[in-house]
Amino acid sequence: MRNKKVYVAGAVLIAAGILIGLILGSGLNTTRPSAANPVVNAPVTPNPEPAPSPDSQLQGRKILDALSEAFANVAEQVNPSVVTIFTESTVKVSPFQFGPWEEFFGEDFFRRFFPQQPEGKMKRYGLGSGVIIDSDGIIVTNNHVIKGADDIKVRLMDGREFEAEVKGKDENTDLAVLKIKASDLPAIKMGDSDKLRVGEWVLAIGSPLGPELHHTVTAGIVSAKGRSGEGLSPFVDFIQTDAAINPGNSGGALVNLDGELVGINTAIVTKTGGFMGIGFAIPSRIVQKVTRDILEKGRVLRGWLGVVIQNITPELAKVYGLEKPEGVIVSRVVENSPAAKAGLKPQDIVVEFNGRPVKSVTQLTSLVSASDPGTTVRLTILRDGKRKSVEVKLGERPKEEELAEAPGEEHVPELGLHVENLTRELRQRYRIDASVKGVVVVDLERGSVAAEAGLRPGDVILEVNRHRVTNVDEFHRVMDDLQPGDPVAFYVQRRKERLFIAFTIPKKQS
């Protein structure tokens, strides 16, 4: 049955839309005259709309049957490639667990009065899902599914169970690769997550909530692409879907209507602990890169540019003359890095990566990290308002190097900023190198726009709206030309880092 052709085409979705139109046009509604819902003084329709013909009703039914058949065929094809993962770990349990009192008094306090109570151990059991990507027993899942596990068992759809060996894992993308001693397994077909479109149908398959619900299939659409945020990996531009995902689905398959793996289900946004319509999957592009590196090289190798970047905010977009706040701005170029060798400079705005539009720090980080070291990539940048193409040969990302995004901007009523010329005393106080030229921030009013934007005492303002400032007079000369409502972008030296702090000058209160 796995080789059964999946009858899916764009015509199915188009025809479904036509069907909806036929239904709406047929006059079917919930306010027809009835004993429970009389219509008073209903107007007489001289030419009533004709009822849908039997032929149109039959055609509509065929369209729905075709869509239903497509879902069923995909589920039948893919289900055997999805596995249920059971984990067992041993954790130490302290007998001195007295809630907030333990935190207040400390464990030693309770040990003094209850010395005979020994430490204990308990078993912890976990449940997740995985996907067979190679017929010789290679399985991909989430790292958090198997993290800390002493024993890992994999159960196939046919009921067979195997002990699993961890071939490798990558915490940065939350992926892990397992191996079981089996052959001729039904490996899933890999799809291209980059070709996914928002609104496209997808199916999620896994074992939510408990083993008795193994191989649950849910349907939904791709709700968004390129998602990031708190709690999500900065190395992954996640696929968002409304296909139902619950605890236990982690590591399971997200597939398109061709039965191809386009993502590994990983996380949900929830206030209840259960599904609330927002789930996230790791794109297959990243899954393929990570699993290949683990199996072939024993570790994940990531491309590296060597820049510190920030998202373009509305204020920065205005300062740099951009039509909309898209792209990322370079705040610092690491010395002797691939970016430095290619000629990238601070204040360059990256708008494309190998022809793909760049919209956020996470997206660019993901694209670079998913590229192999030594790969030559083409960046499209804006420099002084002019579009330019730059080729960069990526290096290997050092463990200690991280791309950073500066604090976000907030709008508040007052500027609340106080600066001074750099003196020997101020340089000593804030540990500012003698080569740094600018004005130093010595005070910020609480709640002021500058403070809320992320400026700190000890920051040295090097530029204001791209104008170099070396003393307080130059600083005020530039600021005096600005009006309430104008955007401001400070280029700041903070210890060894450089970053942008942007905000809007608040309008005066009447």
Of the residues 81, 144, 207, 337, which is catalytic?
A: 144
Query: Which position has the token pair 């010789």?
Result: 136
Are residues 154 and 83 in contact, defined by beta-carbon separation less than 8 angstroms? yes
Helices 10-25 and 54-78, interaxial angle, to 10°? Answer: 140
Angle CA 275–277–280, to nearest 5: 85
* DSSP string for residues in 165-198: EEEEEETTTTEEEEE-S--S--PPEE--GGG--T
Of the residues 81, 129, 170, 174, which is catalytic?
A: 174
Are residues 96 and 107 in contact, defined by beta-carbon separation less than 8 angstroms? yes
> Can you name the residues that pair with 342 across neighbouring β-strands?
none
Are residues 227 and 237 in contact, defined by beta-carbon separation less than 8 angstroms? yes
Sorted by sequence, the CB contacts under 8 Å of residue 209 that are 6+ apart come out as: 246, 247, 248
Query: Exposed, middle or buried by CB within 10 Å (0-12, 13-18, 19+), for 379?
Result: buried
Query: Which position has the token pair 């010329």?
Result: 421
Query: Which position has the token pair 């992926």?
Result: 175
Strands 439-444, 417-421: pairing is antiparallel
Is 242 marked active-site? no
Tokens of 42: 């209903």
Phi, psi (rounded to 5 degrees) for 444 = -135, 130
Helix (H, G, I), strand (E, B) or coil at 273: coil
* DSSP string for residues in 342-368: HT--TT-EEEEETTEEP-SHHHHHHHH
Q: How many Cα neighbours within 13 Å face the side chain of 156?
A: 20
Of the residues 81, 129, 233, 250, which is catalytic?
A: 250
Q: Which amino acid is at 35?
A: A
Which phi-psi region, left, alpha or beta, contains residue 173 (left: φ > 0; alpha: ψ -120 to 50)?
A: alpha
Distance CA 300, CA 295 (A): 9
Edge-to-edge strands, sheet with 120-134? 161-163, 151-155, 82-93, 120-134, 138-142, 175-179, 165-170
Is 174 marked active-site? yes
Nearest to 77 by CA among 256, 337, 299, 268: 256
Is 476 marked active-site? no
| Active site amino acids | 144, 174, 250
